[in-house]
Each structure stands twice: as C-alpha cells, then as structure tokens.
C-alpha cells in the first residue's frame, strides 16, 4: 500500500515565503476554478471563496470594525465562519472562535479573559451575547452576521481593499489545571508554519480533499485542516459536527479525502458503521490519511481501519499551545502500542518531573516543548503564565514518556493522573481493559481524595441494559471482574454506575465533571 507521504522532512526547516493569507490569495489567482469549500450543499471555487472573503472584509469595514480590534466570534458550525475568520485575520483583528454550545458560565469567563470590543454572532445569538455584555467593558457592541452569506456570495469580483494586514491573530481559550480559562495567541507566522507543515507532511495539493468533521470553533480544526487545505489549493469538505456515521461515509465514498483529523472515539464508531456497510455489500470509500490527535489507536484497531479504508491511520501529538504538530507516527516508523510518533524536525521536547527536573528516557513526566508554530503570546503576561517556563519552553499538561530512541508515548492530561503509593498511573491503564468487556459502554477512573483516602481508585461505569431495561453490570459483578483483571493496588475502592460519561467538544473525557458535579459527588467525597 502506497503511503502517499514524503519521506523528506527537510522542508520543515524552510522559512515561510509568504503569509498564509497571501498563499490563499495566490491560489485563487492561479487556480480560480478549483473547488475550495463544500458544506451543506454549498460549493465554492477558490475564486468564489476569495470574493467572499474580500466582500466580508469590506462589510466589516462598513460596519465600523476598528483596525486591529479584539473580537469574539460566537457562531454555530456554518461555512461563513471560514471566510469571516479569514477576513478578520486580513484586517489585523485579534479574534477568538468560541463554541456557542458552551455553558453561560464558560462563555462569561472567556469573555472576561478576551475583553473583546465586538461580539460577532448570528441573529439567534443576540440574546446570548446580551447576557455577556455585563461582564465586558461598557463600549462593547454586538454585530450580527445575518445576511452576510448572501452579501458575500453575491460578489463576482473581489472588493478593492487596503493590503492584507500582518497583525491578525487567532486566539484560542482552554482551561488550565486551576480551572481558569487561559487564552493563547497565534499570529500569521505561526498559522503559516502550521499550514506549511501539514500541507507538506501529507502532500496536500491542488484538488486534494480535506474532511473536517470538527467544529471550526476549535483552533485545531482551523490550523490543521482549514488553512493547509486552502493554502494548498485543495477542497475543504466541512461536515456538520452532528452528522451521522452514514452521512460521513457517504462523503468519504464520494470524495476519497486525503486527510482527516479527529479523535479515537470518533474513529471507532465510524469503523463499526463502515464494517456494517461493507457487510451489506455497499462500498466504503478511501481515506488516505486519518490522523488521531493526542491519542494512540490500538494496533488491532489500526490494522482493521487501514485494511477497510485503504489508507493510513496515524497518531499525532498537537497540543493546544503547540500550533503545528509536535510528533507524528509516520508510516515508515515502527508500529508501537500507545505510540504517538517522534518529534518532527524543528521541534524540541523534554519530560520533567514534579520538581521541574528532566526525566531520563523511559520515565513518565510532563512533556514540555519548543516549536516554530507554538503560541506567540498569552492573554496574561508571558513571564507570569503557568504554561511558559523561564527558558521559553511551553508546558503541555500532558503526561508522557520519551524512550531512548525518541519515541513518544502519552498517558493522559496531568491533572487526571492517579497517584498510587507514590507512583503515577494513567486512567487509561484501568479504563481500557474494562471498556473491552461486553456490556460496558464507557468507564472513567479517578483517584480518591488524597487527603482522606490516599492510594485508592474510584470508577464510574456506564453499563448497557438488557431487553427488559435492567443493567447488565452491577457494582458487585464489576468488582469481581476487576479482581481478575488488575493487581490489588489497581482495584477500585468504590464503583458508581452512571447514565453517561461526559466528554467535551473535542472528545476528551471530562473526569473532573464526574468528580465534582454529579449526583454521586457527595458520596465520592465521603468515601
């Protein structure tokens, strides 16, 4: 099977020849009729997308958007997010894409951190934005984009505007380990480095299709899929985040995407749907490169996927603050369990212990890094930021191990690690054997409160039901199963049965939600 990837990684050292926005504009002039965007029945060529971006820039200027202003964009997963964000970057705005499905509390925290001059929303989102205004400076205003799609798509020629600004920035917000929403800032240089890296790693070219099934409110989707596809002259296939597996398989069958980025849980469900489709005699299609971000697929699953979709299923590590990928499981590397690749050229990584000392090869700790595409600034002062060390390295909040050959293995986010008798244990070590049991739909493993019940594991289990609606598993039967699966120190002190395990919009398990915000919280605290 040809892997469709280049083995020459020297390009990652090459300087950027122009900004990512200039590359998008150049593609529109050299390949105007090539498809650029397909979403919800809407199909735009690169020329049409360029016209939409420039018309949006002019519309923003006419709306009185001040140069270089800070904006908070609260839109559902709609195609105008693409040309709106490109237009904002071109005007030098500092803009944050925020998921409108976030809670009011979260949105208020992000708004206070971002301090936008303008809230950009749909007409349906005006009420939501009005609720945020009390948390913002008095002169903050709301700008709705109702009618923008018709205005932008009605332009047959690009508007004549001032040259592209080089000051545009994309802001991305994420909780730190103290539950504070911290924003990272990525300029056009960082976005360009990411676009160049992804474009050349996966040999994206004119006519390539990149399938984006993630909300473009997330920086990962915009930087790892949107910009590389457009800069390469490819077509961005934007699937609705709520699309069913059958709808996605139809898109794969029709377009044979060259690149797709998602999370392991999503790929598992898609594989099962594809196997059912194949068993019924229907074609499945091909995905040349499917990338699992910040997780490693198990080798049997990886083999099943690659056989069915005739392409590569690769693990990569691209933490929030990194911008570009830090490591990648390239096809010519040795396949290893729980492996997310080796550091790419230009990327430096180290693993530290709790005291900040570097760990030797083969020992677990928190991975820190330096990378050309990493965040250029934070919403707080750089030197007081918890993510930035004195030497300019960024902290990932990921527990990892580097072996003597440079292979990187991830465990989990640092604040989810379980302490047992002085050792760190990844929740995955407990969860994955249990999830493999028939009738166990999902599991979350947590450490009990260290102040009152140190060195104990607590489990939350989502059990399936039988035809009569009775749970297939009880606490007693699960405890007996754990006694067979695990050594004594890994066996849970208590098991709670729950209706669901919560996940965030990036498919990361929210163990802290179970720990503090469920009906079992008081019971759990009083173990």
- Residue 192: inside a domain, yes or no? no
Beta-bridged to residue 44, according to DSSP, are 37
Q: Whole-angstrom Cα distance, residue 380 to residue 126? A: 28
| Mean pLDDT value of segment 391-405 | 83
Nearest Cα neighbor of 53 from 79, 86, 77 is 86
Please say which residue of 185, 216, 244 terminates a domain.
185
- Residue 251: inside a domain, yes or no? no
Q: In this predicted model, what pLDDT tens digit does every residue of 349-381 receive, in sequence order?
A: 999 876 778 888 888 788 899 888 888 887 754
- Residue 428, C-beta contacts closer than 8 angstroms, at least 6 positions apart: 411, 412
Give φ, ψ of 119 to 5 degrees.
-100, 120
- Residue 374: inside a domain, yes or no? no
Please say which residue of 154, 185, 216 terminates a domain.
185
Percent of the chain with pLDDT over 70: 87
In angstroms, the Cα distances linking 360 to 183, 363, 400, 404, 522 are: 32, 6, 12, 9, 40
Whole-number pLDDT of residue 415: 60
- Residue 227: inside a domain, yes or no? no
Average pLDDT over the chain reads 84
272 near 239, Cβ under 8 Å? no
- Residue 474: inside a domain, yes or no? yes
In angstroms, the Cα distances linking 461 to 263, 400, 430 are: 21, 26, 12
- CATH number for the domain that contains residue 521: 3.30.300.30
Q: Whole-angstrom Cα distance, residue 212 to residue 109? A: 28
Please say which residue of 185, 203, 218 terminates a domain.
185
- Residue 175: inside a domain, yes or no? yes
Over 80: is that where the pLDDT of 499 sits?
yes
Q: In this predicted model, what pLDDT tens digit does every residue of 283-333 receive, in sequence order?
A: 999 999 998 877 777 778 889 999 999 999 998 888 877 877 899 888 888
- Domain hosting 140: range is 18-185
Helix 428-435 crosses helix 475-485 at what angle (to 10 degrees)? 110
Q: How many domains does the chain have?
A: 2
Whole-number pLDDT of residue 452: 65
User: Is the alpha carbon torsion for 287, 293, 295, 296 positive or negative?
Assistant: positive
Over 90: is that where the pLDDT of 453 sits?
no
- CATH number for the domain that contains residue 159: 3.40.50.980
Indicate the pLDDT class of residue 2, thresholds 50, 70 and 90: very low
Helices (H), 401-487: 428-435, 475-485
Neighbours of 22 (CB within 10 A): 18
Q: In this predicted model, what pLDDT tens digit does every residue of 55-83 receive, in sequence order?
A: 999 999 999 998 889 999 998 877 888 99
- Residue 28: inside a domain, yes or no? yes
- Residue 134: inside a domain, yes or no? yes
Indicate the pLDDT class of residue 13, thresholds 50, 70 and 90: very low
Q: How far apart are the first and last CA of the chain?
A: 54
Whole-number pLDDT of residue 260: 92
């Amino acid at each position: 099977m040809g892997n469709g990837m280049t083995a020459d990684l020297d390009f990652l050292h090459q300087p950027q020849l122009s900004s990512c926005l200039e590359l998008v504009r150049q593609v529109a002039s050299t390949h105007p009729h090539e498809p650029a965007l397909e979403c919800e029945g809407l199909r735009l060529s690169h020329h049409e997308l360029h016209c939409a971006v420039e018309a949006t820039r002019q519309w923003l200027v006419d709306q009185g958007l001040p140069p270089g202003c800070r904006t908070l964009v609260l839109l559902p997963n709609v195609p105008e997010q693409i040309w709106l964000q490109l237009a904002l970057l071109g005007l030098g705005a500092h803009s944050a894409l925020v998921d409108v499905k976030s809670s009011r509390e979260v949105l208020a925290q992000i708004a206070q951190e971002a301090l936008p001059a303008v809230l950009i929303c749909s007409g349906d989102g005006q009420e939501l934005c009005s609720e945020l205004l009390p948390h913002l400076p008095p002169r903050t205003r709301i700008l709705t984009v109702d009618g923008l799609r018709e205005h932008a798509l009605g332009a047959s020629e690009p508007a004549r505007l001032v040259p592209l600004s080089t000051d545009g920035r994309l802001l991305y917000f994420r909780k730190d380990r103290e539950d504070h929403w911290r924003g990272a800032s990525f300029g056009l240089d960082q976005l360009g480095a990411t676009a160049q890296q992804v474009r050349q790693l996966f040999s994206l070219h004119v006519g390539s299709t990149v399938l984006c099934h993630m909300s473009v409110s997330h920086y990962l989707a915009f930087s790892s899929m949107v910009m590389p596809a457009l800069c390469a002259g490819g077509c961005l296939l934007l699937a609705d985040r709520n699309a069913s597996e059958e709808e996605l398989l139809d898109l794969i069958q029709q377009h044979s995407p060259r690149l797709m980025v998602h999370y392991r849980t999503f790929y598992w469900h898609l594989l099962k749907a594809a196997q059912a489709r194949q068993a019924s005699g229907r074609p499945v299609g091909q995905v040349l490169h499917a990338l699992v971000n910040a997780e490693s697929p198990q080798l049997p699953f990886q083999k099943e996927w690659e056989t069915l979709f005739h392409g590569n299923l690769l693990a990569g590590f691209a933490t929030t603050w990194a911008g570009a990928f830090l490591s990648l499981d390239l096809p010519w590397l040795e396949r290893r369990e729980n492996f997310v690749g080796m550091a790419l050229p230009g990327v430096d990584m180290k693993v530290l212990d709790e005291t900040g000392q570097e760990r030797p090869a083969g020992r677990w700790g928190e991975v820190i890094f330096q990378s050309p595409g990493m965040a250029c600034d934070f919403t707080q002062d750089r030197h007081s930021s918890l993510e930035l060390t004195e030497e300019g390295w960024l902290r990932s909040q990921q527990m990892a191990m580097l072996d003597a050959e440079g292979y990187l293995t991830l465990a989990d986010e640092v604040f989810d690690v379980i302490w047992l008798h002085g050792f760190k244990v990844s929740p995955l070590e407990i969860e994955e054997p249990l999830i493999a049991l028939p009738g166990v739909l999902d599991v979350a493993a947590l450490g009990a409160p260290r102040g009152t019940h140190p060195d104990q594991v607590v489990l939350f289990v989502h059990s399936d039901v039988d035809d009569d609606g009775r749970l297939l598993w009880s606490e007693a039967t699960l405890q007996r199963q754990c006694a067979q699966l695990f050594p004594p120190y890994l066996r849970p002190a208590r098991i709670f049965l729950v209706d669901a395990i919560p996940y965030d919009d990036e498919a990361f398990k929210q163990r802290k939600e179970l720990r503090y915000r469920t009906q079992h919280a008081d019971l759990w605290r009083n173990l």
